Structure 1
Amino acid sequence: MRIEIHSFNGIHFDLDVERSETIKEVGQKIRSKVNYPISQQSLTYECDKLEDDNKTLSYYKIKDGASLRLWIAGEWKITVELMNDLVINLQINPNYSIGHIKFAIENKTQIPTEIQRLFLNGKELEGFVADTGIQDGSILALCVFAKTKQTAHSVLVCCAKIEIFVNISGRKIVVGTKEDDLIKEVKLQIRVMEELRFHKQRLMFNGTELEDDKRLCDYGIVDGSVIDMIEKPYNKGELISVTVESGRGSRIIFKVYDHCNALELKLALQHSLKVAFRQQRLLFGGRQLDNYKTLLENNVKDGDVIKLYECMCGC
């Protein structure tokens, strides 16, 4: 039979195999095609990692015409510098595309991927990490391009529209933002800058606690405003066991705190299954989990099963 191999760098090729062949034997055939050592290869099929090299294709229910993803082991640390002096540290895999990096930046800063432009040594980055010259320890520059209401042309946004001050225990930090940003988006920036978890932050302005789903302009917050942040007592929550079941029926058990949010669970799945978090859809009780709500808020309890579906478009 014939299967498709989708390589991390955009190379796709067909492989003639037998259902009785082991994953190790398939790896040897892949090496003859692209020369990646077997020890560095990782294959996934329908969100599931093919863990055991001695198991056959038949064991994993891989049939004629199936598409497998090929990943190469390794993890790098890079730095992304933003125009408003915000610096982000990211851990990436050399398998990633530039799109994966942009998704990670959006997760940390709420800057939409479609207006991000990444540069290395003055050259704009496109395609796959392996083809761009990015290495472990590289420093990338992020510029933000947005369309204004007055014109259809793209313009470079070199700094945030407003700057507000956040008072943390008598120490002020500057946060670049916009008046129509949500309070939870400001909290995410504080999390990046101060490594202070989202759910530990309590923001106050003129004696009023700010609600996550309201905007800065709803509270009259403008350029130069000072917001006070009160740190909530640390509470990990209760340690629970949840099972994540892929669309193909395989299961992975995670030990997590119920104060962990769905997005953090997706990032753990991304690391385990090599499926980008933006392509994951987690369903529980027939409803999709809200990324920013905790498992407790999503009514997930110890022993519950969460369904994982992969959306290839990343919408």
Structure 2
Amino acid sequence: MDVTVFIKHSCWWITTIEQVRMSTNEFESITVLQLKEKLEPLTGEPVGEQRLVFAGKQLEDDARLVSCGIQHKTTIELILNVRVIVKGLTGKTIKIDLPDNEFKSITVLQLKAKLEPLTGEPVGEQRLVFSGTQLKDDRLLVSYRIHRGAPVHLILKNDVTVFVKCSGLETIAIHLCDNKFQSVTVLQLKEKLEPLFGVPVEEQRLIFSGKQLEDDALLVSCGIQHKTTIELILNVTVIVKDLTGETIKIDLHEFQSITVLQLKEKLEPLTGEPVGEQRLVFAGKQLEDDALLVSCGIQHKTTIELILKNDVTVFVKWHNGETILIYLSNNEFESVTVLQLKEKIQKLKGFPGNIMFMIKMTSRSVQSLV
């Protein structure tokens, strides 16, 4: 008869039960170390990171399972070390390994106490930040859902925090080491903002006290201090593509306040198409005139489709209820065949087929084709 041993594995807030089956002969001689080796491919955790606990006692690697009182259908607890990564503003990284059960009960204050001898910084001088949120001393680390490999940032009491506000987007806190803040330029701040907002340095304008900050100016010379808020104005390029394939690039200097209607007004002299004849589509959805571009998910170098009022929209509905939209210019529609329409569908969905679809035409009746 085979023997089954259950391994209860709790990591973060997820509990998993693994089953290890072995023959009776194998079970009689297997050691704790050999069991760990079987668990490594199941859990992805190296043997050296595993601790096995049964009846409240940690099992020694060279002990045989039977000598530890393990029997058929016994449950053993697997305890793993959780690695907390702490990064300072100087770039120094500290790794602290905590047993999973300790990690679940450790507070932010207790983590600071572990950091004190490693950093030389007193607990009272430390501020810990995760995902832009400063961690409170009396809260458990697990309550912030800090996941494996995600860094916690160590900010010292005298370090400088600058807030960057961009209309329509989340305000971001930038932490700067106190002894380096005096020499940080506007350009260097923009470089820190680039990966956070996804906008190149040259497309950014920083405004403080109503004035645009020059790239080579020092932040301190501009009056920037701890907890100052700077406004970020994005210079975004939007690409508009019509049904003929022609593209127009429009630079928007006040991007975060631009509405869909205002973009249409900018397109009118470039396309010769009146605002009332234009429909703008992004990610398969028609954009409403009063919506802000930024609220529609439009970003730097996003492509928006320009559909004219008399163009034809074909709705293709799949058996699972999904509907995709295919746009045809009015001229193109007059000569398009069912085969050509299928080819367009294939490009979007990746496969052809015998498809039943509905064609809806502006100012025309709805027709069904097979």
Structure 1 and Structure 2 fold alike (TM over 0.5)? no
Larger Rg: 2
Q: Which has the higher contact order (CA 8 A, sep 6+)?
A: 1
TM-score (norm 1): 0.33
Q: Which one has a larger percent helix, Structure 1 or Structure 2?
A: 2
TM-score (norm 2): 0.29
